[in-house]
Amino acid sequence: MTSLGLVETRSIAFGISLADAMLKQADVDLLRAKTICSGRFMILVSGDRAAVGEAMNIAQQAEKKVSSHHTLSRVSNKVIDALSMRYSVAEHAAIGIVECRNVIFGISAADAAVKAATVTLLKLVCGQGINGKSYFIVNGDVADVEAGTSAAEEMLGRNLLEKIIIPSPDSALMRTVLSGGGRDHGKSIIRTA
């Protein structure tokens, strides 16, 4: 299991320079560095606990320009793979979609879901274009998807916006939802790890 560090900055330019400083100072992997809603910048790093702690110390020193920072320990590799956009899809199985109030709760809930049941984390969307919210999609047998999304629901409490389970989703829906749009209807984006 890996630790995960999440930093949101008030300035895009500062966020890019902070990501550079974190990478140069600590032995962490950069999973995401991108703009999110309301002109903020999000940095996600992973690595062992000490390295992520070192990177997060750099972020804490810039407190006035950092809007939030969080560290999650013992994060499932399934969450890290989803954040790195590495996933596999079980054909004709169920999917569960969980929508959350913000990014840190979404990542935590996805981690709870994959630890509670034998599900694959297909997609984890963090803040971009959805007003700072997050959502994730898990895949597996109906019973496992129900168990995983129920664990996420319990963990989220009032931070849960919606939870939906779809047994045997249509393959066109899967291609479109996982690719993020409707442009590539003829191409399969289903990947295997």
Tokens matching residue 29: 């992997």
pLDDT at 160: 94
Is 7 in contact with 40 (CB distance < 8 Å)?
Answer: no
Whether 96 has a pLDDT exceeding 50, the answer reads yes
pLDDT at 180: 60
Identify whether residues 174 and 84 lie together within a single domain.
Answer: yes
Identify whether residues 64 and 118 lie together within a single domain.
Answer: no
Tokens matching residue 45: 């790093």
Identify whether residues 85 and 159 lie together within a single domain.
Answer: yes
- Residue ranges in 9-132 assigned as alpha helix (H): 12-25, 49-61, 77-83, 103-116
- Residue among 82, 79, 131, 134 at smallest CA distance from 104: 134
Model-wide pTM > 0.75: no
For the ranges 48-52, 110-114, 123-127, 160-164, the lowest mean pLDDT is seen at 123-127
**Domain count across the chain:** 2
Mean pLDDT for the stretch of residues 104-113: 92
pLDDT at 62: 78
Per the structure, the complete domain to which residue 69 belongs is given by: 2-75
Residue 152 lies in a domain: yes
**Which of 75, 92, 120 represents a domain boundary (last residue)?**
75
Residue 186 lies in a domain: no
Identify whether residues 117 and 167 lie together within a single domain.
Answer: yes
Q: Which tens digits make up the pLDDT trace of 34-69?
A: 887 777 788 889 999 999 999 999 988 877 888 888
Whether 142 has a pLDDT exceeding 90, the answer reads yes
**Which of 75, 98, 123 represents a domain boundary (last residue)?**
75
Identify whether residues 56 and 100 lie together within a single domain.
Answer: no
